[in-house]
Structure 1
Amino acid sequence: MSDSPSNGNGNSAFGDWVVRYRWLVLFASLAVAMVAGSGGSRLAFNNDYRVFFSEDNPELQAFEKLQRTYTKIDNILFTIAPRGNDVFAPAVLDAVEYLTLDAWQLPFVLRVDSITNYQHTVATDDDLIVADLVEGAVDLSSPELSEITRVATNEPALRSFLVAHEGHTTAVNVTFQMPQLAMDETPQAVAAARELAAKLEADYDVDVHLTGMVMLNNAFFEMAMQDMSTMVPAMYLIIIAVTLLLVRSVTATIGTVLVILLSVMTSMGIAGYLGIELTPPSSAAMTIIMTLAVADSIHILVSALGAMRRGKGRREALVESLSVNMSPVFLTSVTTAIGFLSLNFSDSPPFADLGNITAIGMIAAFFYSVGFLPAFVAIVPVRARAGQSLLGKYMDRLGDWVVAHNRRILFGFSGFAVLVLAFVPSNDLNDDFVAYFDESTAFRQDVTVTSERLTGAYQLQFSLNSGSSNGVSDPMFLRQTGLFVDWLREQPEVRHVQSITDTFKRLNMNLHGDDPEYYKLPEQRDLAAQYLLLYELSLPYGLDLNNQLNVDKSSTQVVVTLDNLDSRRLREIAQRGEGWLQANTPKLATIGIGPAIMFAYISDRNIKSMLIGTFLAVVLISAILVGVLKSSKLGAISLVPNLLPAGLAFGAWGFFVGELNMAVSMVSGMTLGIVVDDTIHFLTKYKRARIEQGLDAPDAVRYAFANVGQAIVVTSLILIAGFSVLATSDFAMNSLMALLTAIAIGMALLADFLLLPALLIRLDSNKKTS
């Protein structure tokens, strides 16, 4: 029997066809999976942090313009912590000299900066001498070391950036120019950098910590590879264990695992053909598909095994299972796909890719569940244990209990929901690209050490335009820039400011006999231009001023290094800087930009875009439910258990944790598509009892518990287990998204087993649903 006669006849005929031509269906399914899966060879991993931002993202556009104007900031910062805590010991300076020299041999290197090759300027008679601050470290005398210490720890360009004021830590900053011709450029650079760092630690009494944007890109890549290599095997083990425990059939469990494998192969292969790139978020699609693909198989298997326990033959039981389940399984696959497709409204392309890959996987899982799985079970020997399962007995008891206490359940659950939802506003958005990585990861640890001992991980860049070629030498422009730099250095969040004004002050002092009274900006444009030209002509290859000045010297870049701040404080300091420029030097007004601030803004941007996507998904899924159930009343009732779980998950998170990142904006759309599955299965069985058997609402609820309750429990537990595995990821975007989804699925199980039956009994009490 089925939910409607026409559907039942059609589904039964399809079931008969699958069982009759089981070998054809089996091999056709394998052939489709092989052809589609061949596209997996086209999959490539994008390890650039910029992939998190869409092409029309205003912060990304501003940042790319800045990157085209000045030297790129793709860097690796070698933080050197001497075990003797003295950077200026000859052996340590020798290590810095060695690293500075050998860093030029790294792949794609563009520039190397350190305290040893810092271009120190002094005046000799009427000449300006520009030379490395440290040369031949092991042969330096004590007075020479003292002078180097004095210069390095007091020079604004070095202090709190390449050397700690206390002299216990230093760094070598290596800038790269990636040609972007191959996906392995970043791993190549990182592997060479790690080898160089290991050699330095072996040869000298120092510890080396690697940070910077290149290391960040590589950390994204390594997290995705780690998740794929650990999560996927763990998921298979959990699925096998839970399915075997609850279904109690080895053959059925094998069939379920094969459906998962074929679904993953198909979805990832099609993704390859579509040119979708793998990123840390989109790579999670494999684990999510594995988790969700189980649900369809479980519903078909539980019904078939149940029919076999009642005495039906294997093939007859399969036909009955398809007749009963094909329509709701199709609906759940479509609604789940719709939920994930809503991620296309995200401003972050990797999450749109995650949604698309998963949606493809869900449609593939449907076809393999209603085609390959019954064909497989019809061929191989399957034995169903006699008698009702223990879980089935519990479902009967639960149905009786819910019917008997429906009024108390309705008011009790409503009170619980109001209480939990009250904590939703307690959640605080905080996107911090360093905090995306667990504290156990090497990248996070290296950033922490660098931040504690030397400098911050976050930078803001302000490009100040003078309005004319060579305008950076204009005294008025220099004074205004200098005032802005002075204001920045007074801000408590600021660790270091790099500005061309410090160079002009030092040159002015040098060319006035190194008189400290002249450590100030030059007051004549021609003089300032001469200083700059003289200095540039003295600089060695690779150490030009392109990191601070544009080509025609009409603009200069002020780079602000900040403490490791949360996204709100990052936005605040950027807005304060922009406000200061607008109020004090309106002609120089610009925005502060950089990777950190780009991530700081993306949560708000995603929430706004995903509100539209989630709303459209709600409307579309609700319309489908009303159309399928042929009842506006049941459709309206279904909205409650479909929308409430995500809200309850956010409320629980607000109470226990209270901090969310960019992934949070994806959870509502995702969970909507997932949690609606159980509601569909429960309501279709409830409606079947009401229409075909003429049962009243309480007995129809009991019927639904008896016929689909066990499958709902099994699928929910597998879903919770699967997302809980993903929640162990060291990458916070994936782990937070997974944990919130697991909580939402748990809340959905409670809502479908407690709130939904109570609502049906109270609101659908007519003799028969039409």
Structure 2
Amino acid sequence: MAGVKDQIERGFEQLARTLYTHRLKVLVFFCVLLGAFFYKIPSITVDTSAEALLDEHDKSRIEYDRFRDQFGQDRFVVITITSDHIFTQSFFERLHTFQAALEERVPYVKEVTSLINARHTWGDSDELIVEDLLEGWPDRTVDFEVLRNQVMANPAYLHQFISTDGRTTSVIIEPDVYHTEQMDVLEAFDSFDEEIFVGEEETQQKRYLSDMENEVLVEAVREVVAAYHAPDFSLALAGGPVVLEVFNDYTMLDLKKCFLLSFVVILVFLWLLFRRVSGVVLPSIVVQGATFSTLGLLGWFGVPIKMTTTVLPAFLLCVGVADSVHILALFYKEVDRGESRKDAIGHAVGHSGLAVVLTSLTTAAALLSFSFAELTALGDLGLFAAAGVLLALFYTLFMLPALVAVVPVRPRSAGRQKQGRSLVMDRVLLRTANISIRHPLKIIGISLVLFAVSFYYMFDLRYSDYVVGFFPESMAVRKDIATIDKQLNGSLQLEVIIDTGRENGVYEPRFLNRIDNATHYLSQHETPEIVVGKIYSLNDLLKEIHQALNENRPEFYAISQDYNTIAQELLLFENAGSDDLEPIVDSLFSKTRVSIKTNWVDSVVLNDFMQETKHYFTTLFGDSARITITGMSALMARTISAALNSMVKSYALAFGVIAIMMMLLVWDIKTGLFSMIPNIFPIFLSLGIMGFFDVPLDMTSLMIASIAMGLVVDDTVHFVYNFRKYYLRTGDAHEAVRATFMGVGRALLITSVVLAFGFFVLMAATLNHIVRFGFFTGLTILFALLADFLLAPALMIVITGSHKRSSSAAAMDSR
């Protein structure tokens, strides 16, 4: 085994010397490579939507796409207007101007609806009339007091276009479902009767509205809202497209901010460590190259930045710099001893190359455990973070030797100040080593107690995916959502699709009566967390029609109990010129949707409500219809089970792969397994603290364990690898621990601190889930440092049978 290791080290040394010799060719190659990666960075997009978290073949996503294809949008931009004088001529004139501005200036919009053009269904003798509520206005006179009574008495308007106190009204913007490249051409040929041909072309070319187009839409809405907002015309803006746009914006802002701050932290760390310009420049080039190359990979593969990959650049900066640090530390030491740069870099890469490769592989292995996740967002993080770690390794081993050859590096003698600092550090490391040597059983005992307490509080952990809660309370969008939830009982929709499987199945009175029963049941549902604000279905439309055809009398606001009457009423409605049936029923009248509006709540709460709703509908309709729950909110709820299942697999896979690699590294099963304890102990400790302080797990913080395991194992690898080497050489576990501390202790301390602070930098983010992820990942790394400095040596002492000697030494010290 030792012979193989020596051959590998000589191979690394020869590689570095060759790269140094052919530095210009090497640097030209890397310039071309980096150029190829940089070329695709501008094409990176951001997509934090619920469907982006799931694989395109996921059942829930397929059902959602079918829903959009059949019925249209379930995401609406909701604008509320609060005023004490809504039902006045001046207010409606202002509303009319505001709505016209939205229709004119906002792209990708199918329809803008308010009280001005809300559907008004009424009857005149035997004629059914379907028109806008203020049809003909402002050319005709309107009695606004009569209008007020009419609006407040109409169930279809309440909590949709008017609040119960009559002080808040709404404007609802329905975005287009699709954007097609041929849209303008097709519109130009609307006059030609080529519907079949055009339909085929649209099927080939259509795509759902993109995040970029959604951003353009929302920005245009925001500009109009800003222009019309006034104390007596107070506007609030919310809805799914708005939340998505704000989340995307702040995701990108946080990515840039945290990347810059992490880079500053690394620059400071490198300067304090090396006190050389080259010691700052060389690792910076390597780690920046690896980070931007990884971003370029995202561009080349067309993968957008998602909720989970927000932390990727800052993560790679912190992790990638460690490889260069280990090699440069030895390089500068050899240069200061008088070695040439070529010999120095050859020695450094030869000595540290294998260890750097092993630590990078263990980190990449832990990250790759995410690639098997049900959520594509987690899979993307695993694949591209692992790719970034391996790129950092590649640039360190192959580009750094060439850079060393062209960057001036001067030898220097160790001054008194440096010697003083080294002596202080050495004393601290030796005292730490002696504590582990003299009190291994106490350290293990205390660790077991902490582990047990942490394990107990881990059962208090709860999962939360409250997207609105990711925004700070001071943010305008969070305030607006709270305002709209209060005034109109929500702006989030859950969709229930009821498929009878029979043509004209929705005409059956028994079927419609069951929908009425479900509506009544759900409208009574109210908990502290979730409020059902409004339920809209085919029944509401049929009741309007039935009332209109019976002299507009309120007592006829009901469902007819005759199949033929229902069919006739719907036919009359279609003939009246309205297309409002299209987003409610399919063309065969075999299936229909029931839209349930709720307030914005935690996806966990929403998932419970969704399961309850599906169970109720399934029980109510039995075998007579197939029930599907879908919509954006259903996708959000789907991510819960997917995330939890993914994390269980990820944790198990990461632990198993790293344990095997540790056993192979030390060539001893017992030592390899025991060396995993310092890796999992800090994770349990952090999770226990989260449980104790009721800090919820979310999509991002679920990744802490696997990511931390991949990071903290690097220090354990260095410690156990060196301990094993010194122990086999001396046969003395105590001396092996001391030699390990003096050999790699300083590097472990420095790299752990920079890693921890690199993650603490994420606390400067705006979005709360990134803040929590940064804090607890940094905390876990610090706990891991303590475990490697105290628990790991204590375990090595015990498994080598040297703890009895440690007890005797401790007893003598106490005397």
- Tell whether 2:478 aligns with 1:444: yes
Alignment correspondent of 1:717: 753
Decide whether the 8 Å contact of 1:430 with 1:600 is kept in 2. no
Partner secondary structure for residue 487 of structure 1 = helix
Go from structure 1 to structure 2 and tell me whether the alpha carbon gap of 1:265 and 1:569 turns closer, same or farther (over 3 Å shift): closer
Q: What is aligned with 1:240?
A: 267
Q: Hey, what does 1:160 align to over in structure 2?
A: 159
Identify unmatched segments of 5+ residues in structure 2.
Answer: 180-206, 804-815
Are residues 628 and 47 of structure 1, via their aligned partners in 2, closer, same or farther at CA, if it must alter by over 3 Å?
A: closer
Per-residue CA deviation, residues 428-459 of structure 1 (Å, 9 max, x unaligned), is 11222333433344433322221122231332
Deviation at 1:312, TM superposition (A): 5.7
- Structure 2 partner of 1:172: 171
1:619 aligns with 2:646: no
* Corresponding residue of 1:422: 456
The 5 A counterparts of 1:595-614 are: 595-614=632-651
Question: Aligned with 1:416: secondary structure?
Answer: helix
User: How far apart, in 2, do the equivalents of 1:286 and 1:269 lie?
Assistant: 11
Aligned residues: 760
Q: Does 1:659 align with 2:696?
A: yes
Q: Which range moves more in the overlay, 670-679 or 514-523?
A: 514-523
TM-score w.r.t. length of structure 2: 0.87
CA shift, 1:226, in A, is 0.8
- Aligned-residue offset at 1:292: 0.7
CA pair 685-310 structure 1, distance change in 2 beyond 3 A:
farther
Match of 1:574 among 595, 599, 610: 610
Q: State the distance in 1 between where 2:233 and 2:286 align.
A: 53
1:15-55 residue CA offsets vs partner (Å, 9 max, x unmatched)? 44344445554444444333343343553444643111112
Q: Which AA in structure 1 matches 2:215?
A: P
Query: Is structure 2 residue 253 aligned with structure 1 residue 226?
Result: yes
2:204 aligned residue: none
Q: Which residue of 2 aligns with 1:11?
A: 12
Q: Does structure 1 conserve the Cα–Cα contact (< 8 Å) formed by 2:75 and 2:493?
A: no
Specify the code of the residue in structure 1 equivalent to 2:594. Answer: V
User: Could you tell which deviates more after superposition, 482-491 or 526-535?
Assistant: 526-535
Contact 2:331 2:344 in 1 (8 A): yes
Give the distance between the partners of 2:60 and 2:155, measured in 1 at CA: 28
8 Å CA contact retained: 1:90, 1:137: no
Give the alignment's Cα RMSD to 1 decimal: 2.8
Conserved? CA contact 1:120–1:131, under 8 Å: yes
**What is the DSSP-based 3-state SS (H/G/I as helix, E as strand, rest coil) of the residue aligned with 1:155?**
coil
Contact 1:72–1:175 (Cα < 8 Å) also in 2: yes
Name the residue aligned to 2:220. Answer: 192
1:336 Cα shift?
0.9
SS at match of 1:660: coil
Query: Cα gap change, 1:153/1:297 in structure 2, threshold over 3 Å: closer, same or farther?
Result: farther
Q: Structure 1 residues 69 and 114 mapped into 2: Cα distance closer, same or farther (>3 Å)?
A: same
What does residue 458 of structure 1 align with?
492
2: CA distance, partners of 1:697 / 1:87: 83
Matched, 1:705 2:732: no
Asked if 1 retains the 8 angstrom alpha-carbon contact of 2:370 and 2:646, the reply is no
The answer to whether residue 680 in structure 2 is matched with residue 679 in structure 1 is no
| TM-score using structure 1 length | 0.92
Instruction: After superposition, give the CA deviation of every residue in 1:269-311 in whole Å (9 maximum; x if it has no partner).
Output: 2333333333343243222111111111222233334455667
Q: Which of 369, 378, 397 pairs up with 1:351?
A: 378
Of residues 403, 407, 411 in structure 1, which corresponds to 2:445?
411
| TM superposition shift of 1:763 | 1.0
Q: Alpha-carbon deviation of 1:314? A: 5.3
Counterparts of 1:381-530 in structure 2 under 5 Å?
381-382=409-410, 385-386=414-415, 387=419, 389=422, 390-492=424-526, 493-530=531-568
* Partner in structure 2 of residue 33 of structure 1: 34
Distance 2:373 2:681 in 1: 22
Residues 655/360 of structure 1: CA separation in 2 closer, same or farther (3 Å cut): same
Q: Could you list the per-position Cα deviations for residues 90-110 of structure 1 after superposition, in whole angstroms to 9, with x for gaps in the alignment?
A: 333333333333433321211
Shift of 1:699: 1.3
Which of these residues, 287, 291, 296, is aligned with residue 264 of structure 1?
291
Q: Taking structure 1 as reference, are residues 305 and 635 closer, same or farther at Cα in structure 2, changes over 3 Å only?
A: same
Among residues 589, 594, 602, which one is paired with 1:558 in the alignment?
A: 594
2:352 matches 1:325: yes
- Helix, strand or coil for the counterpart of 1:240? helix
In the alignment, the residues of structure 2 paired with residue 435 and residue 57 of structure 1 have an alpha-carbon distance, to the nearest angstrom, of 26
| The 10-residue stretch of structure 1 (241-250 or 2-11) with the greater mean CA deviation from structure 2 | 2-11
Deviates more, 1:490-499 or 1:297-306: 297-306
Q: Deviations over 1:53-79 (max 9, x none)?
A: 112322222222222221222321122
Percent sequence identity over matched residues? 25
Q: Deviation digits for residues 183-232 of structure 1, max 9, x if unmatched?
A: 63222212221222122226x83232222222233234212321233122
Q: Which amino acid aligns with 1:32?
A: L
1:422 aligned counterpart, secondary structure: helix
Structure-1 separation of matches of 2:800 and 2:140: 91
- Structure 1 residues 583-609: Cα deviation after superposition (integer angstroms, max 9, x where no partner): 333123513322223222312222223
> For 1:131-182, what per-residue CA distance to the aligned partner results, in whole angstroms no more than 9, with x for missing partners?
32236878998x9222222232332222122221111222111111131476
The 3 A distance-change label for structure 1 pair 293 and 440 is farther
For residues 332-381 of structure 1, the C-alpha deviation after alignment (integer angstroms, 9 at most, x for no partner) is 11111111111112222122112222111111111222333344345422
Equivalent residue for 1:366, pick from 387, 393, 399: 393
Equivalent position amino acid for 2:64 in 1: F
Native 8 Å contact 2:723 2:737 kept in 1: yes
Match of 2:119 in 1: 119
Give the equivalent residue in structure 2 for 1:744. 780
Which residue pairs with 2:790 in the alignment?
A: 754
Equivalent residues of 1:438, 1:731 under 8 A apart: yes
Whole-Å Cα distance in 2 between the matches of residues 573 and 588 of structure 1? 20
Aligned in 2, Cα 1:360/1:495: closer, same or farther, shift over 3 Å?
same
Conserved? CA contact 1:298–1:714, under 8 Å: no
| CA distance in structure 1 between the aligned counterparts of 2:40 and 2:108, rounded to whole angstroms | 31
On the 8 A contact 1:308/1:317 being kept in 2, the answer is yes
Asked if the contact 2:436–2:791 (Cα under 8 Å) also holds between the matched residues in 1, the reply is no
**In structure 2, how many angstroms separate the alpha carbons of the residues matched to 1:32 and 1:41?**
16
- 1:123 is paired with a residue whose SS is strand
Q: Which amino acid aligns with 2:450?
A: F
Distance 1:581 1:8 in 2: 67
Do the aligned partners of 2:123 and 2:129 also contact (CA within 8 Å) in 1? yes
Aligned-partner SS, 2:242: helix
Aligned with residue 408 of structure 2, among 376, 380, 387 = 380
For 1:434 and 1:348, locate their aligned partners in 2 and report how far apart those are by CA, in whole Å. 21
Shift of 1:752: 0.9
Q: 1:736 to 1:64 in 2, by over 3 A?
A: farther
Contact preservation (8 Å) 2:440, 2:794? yes
Structure 1: tracts of 5 or more residues without a match: none
Letter in 1 for 2:706: G
Structure-2 change in CA distance of 1:89 and 1:185 (3 Å): same
Match of 2:53 in 1: 52
State whether residues 433 and 596 of structure 1, in contact with CA within 8 Å, keep that contact through their aligned partners in structure 2.
no
CA distance in structure 1 between the partners assigned to 2:213 and 2:48 by the alignment: 10
Q: Could you tell me which residue of structure 1 aligns to residue 70 of structure 2?
A: 69
Quote the offset at 1:393 in angstroms: 4.1
**Cα separation, partners in 2 of 1:338 and 1:112, compared to 1, 3 Å:** same
Shift of 1:560: 0.5
Please name the residue that 2:807 is paired with: none
In the TM superposition, residue 548 of structure 1 has moved relative to its aligned partner by 1.7
Which of 312, 329, 347 is the aligned partner of 1:285? 312
Task: Name which of structure 1's ranges 316-325 and 109-118 shifts more when overlaid on structure 2.
Answer: 316-325
Please give the alpha-carbon distance, in whole angstroms, between the structure 1 residues aligned to 2:403 and 2:589: 72
Partner of residue 545, structure 1? 581
Alpha-carbon distance between aligned partners in 2 of 1:622 and 1:231, rounded to the nearest angstrom: 32
Over 3 Å counting, the alpha-carbon distance change for 1:467 and 1:317 in structure 2 is closer
* CA-CA distance at 1:330 after TM superposition: 0.5
- What is the Cα deviation at residue 124 of structure 1? 3.5
Residue deviations 1:723-743 (CA, integer Å, cap 9, x gap): 222243333454443333222
2:469 alignment partner, SS class:
coil
